Amino acid sequence: MNKVSQHGQWSSRLAFVLAATGSAVGLGNIWKFPYITGENGGGAFVLVYLLCIFAIGVPIMAAEIMLGRRGRKSPINTMRDLAKEAGANPFWKTLGWVGVVAGFLILSYYSVIAGWAMAYVVRVASGMFEGVTADGVGSIFGQFVADPEKLLAWHSLFMILTMLVVARGVKGLERAVKFLMPALLLLLVLLVGYAMDQGAFRQAVNFLFSPDFSKLNSEGVLTAMGHAFFTLSLGMGSIMVYGAYLPSKVSIGSTAVIIALADTAVALLAGLAIFPIVFIHGLEPGSGPGLIFQTLPIAFGQMEYGAFFGTMFFVLLVFAAWSSSISLIEPAVAWLVENRKMSRMRACIWSGLVTWLVGIGTVLSFNITSDIKFFDKTFFDVLDYLTANIMLPLGGLSIAVFAGWVMTKEVTKEELNFNKPAVFKAWLFLVKYVSPVAVVIVFLKAVNLI
């Protein structure tokens, strides 16, 4: 098959790898991974997370890219077409719909946190943290999130930036990501170097890499699995829609491995940069979503040229978030263009507006409505739990089942085009049995059914 998407195509394999890595590497790696690792006791959580990335995430990523390239449309229409091709129930397109909803919900809070990162660019640059103690940094953060107007302003600005790039189509991003990703990696390495010098590096390494399973409950296992999907952008159509713009000849399997390795490297480096600071200053690893905003500024306030490096760091974090947020909304925008015959611009305005509105819920959940809880969770916690722990794993599960059981072997083999038959066999085994069974077991355990 040699169809091309109506929305355009990546110029090369490298462009796709960069864009997909841009989608994968984001707040999930630098903001979320450290704080959920802290909340779930460290090593054992990290181990389960790594297992999920490579045994469940990578095969499903190959499947999701493959579905996208085979369909060449928005995930909703791709699933409709592929179900038809396989002679299966058209209901499969619901998978596309669930993905679109998940994308809106995730972006609605993602944008608020990206807004925090933007605010911190200004704060670090202006020298606000110079010589400030850990307590001081903590209270600066507390005051910041207590102010709904500030959070709303930054959230709005970030949404505008996102929609601007989405409106210009897939090409706009390619060039930027090429420089930003390596720069981010470099800066993280530098921060790890600084952290190594602080005296608590060993403790941090132990915390991250020596597993103590008594610290991990089944809820934590679900969080680890959910985060594997979240950090790889899997299960909601982002990777599928990017796959739709992938040239036909590119090898999907090795591409998926590269993206997963890059993503994992960034997350682990972020952990290695942050936890030494946590321990040396006696901070609480499980202090929640504010963790990086309460730790890194201490380091930037104390190190030489800290204002410079700190500014760079938060700028790059904003870019990493930016390149992820674009992929969160692309499935919806592509569908609006295909089915509602909207211009890309209009599609962007509408979907951006909806996301922005939902985001206000998250803005308020850190201050005015922080006491309103459902099942002990604020609005932000609920969105995060619902999307990362439930919707994405369910989406990933469905993708695995569809690729492994519904599509014919001939089609998947042709589209994946692995160079060794054994690799195809291994992939098929993983998506047919391992991933679905693993996801179901983790779900059942989390609700105490087994």
| Residue 108: CA count within 13 A, CB half-sphere | 27
**Rounded to the nearest 5°, which phi and psi values hold at 159?**
-65, -40
The interface region with ligand PHE, picked from 52-60, 183-191, 324-332, 401-409 by CB under 6 A, is 324-332
Provide the minimum distance between the beta carbon of 28 and ligand PHE in the complex, in angstroms, as a whole number.
Answer: 2
Residues 47-106 that bind ligand PHE (CB under 6 A): 106
Provide the minimum distance between the beta carbon of 174 and ligand PHE in the complex, in angstroms, as a whole number.
Answer: 17
| Of residues 15 and 239, the one with the C-beta less far from ligand PHE | 239
| Of residues 306 and 395, the one with the C-beta less far from ligand PHE | 395
* Binding of ligand PHE by 324 (CB under 6 A): yes
The interface region with ligand PHE, picked from 303-311, 320-328, 374-382, 398-406 by CB under 6 A, is 320-328
Provide the minimum distance between the beta carbon of 236 and ligand PHE in the complex, in angstroms, as a whole number.
Answer: 6
Residues 214-273 that bind ligand PHE (CB under 6 A): 230-231, 233, 236, 238
Neighbours of 168 (CB within 10 A): 14
Residues 15-34 that bind ligand PHE (CB under 6 A): 23-24, 26-29
Q: At what angle do helices 392-401 and 435-446 cross, to 10 degrees?
A: 150
The set of residues, in sequence order, having a beta carbon less than 8 Å from that of 210 and lying 6+ positions away, is 42, 43
| Of residues 233 and 435, the one with the C-beta less far from ligand PHE | 233
* Alpha carbon distance 359, 362 (integer Å): 5
* Alpha carbon distance 296, 274 (integer Å): 7
Provide the minimum distance between the beta carbon of 134 and ligand PHE in the complex, in angstroms, as a whole number.
Answer: 26
* Binding of ligand PHE by 37 (CB under 6 A): no
Provide the minimum distance between the beta carbon of 33 and ligand PHE in the complex, in angstroms, as a whole number.
Answer: 8
396-421 burial: b if 16+ Cβ within 10 Å, else e: bbbbbbbbbebbeeebbeebbebeee
Provide the minimum distance between the beta carbon of 163 and ligand PHE in the complex, in angstroms, as a whole number.
Answer: 16
User: For residue 41, is it left (φ>0), alpha (ψ between -120 and 50) or beta?
Assistant: left
Count of residues in the chain: 450
The set of residues, in sequence order, having a beta carbon less than 8 Å from that of 232 and lying 6+ positions away, is 24, 53, 57, 61, 239, 259, 260, 263
What residues make contact with ligand PHE under the rule CB under 6 A?
23-24, 26-29, 106, 230-231, 233, 236, 238, 324, 327-328
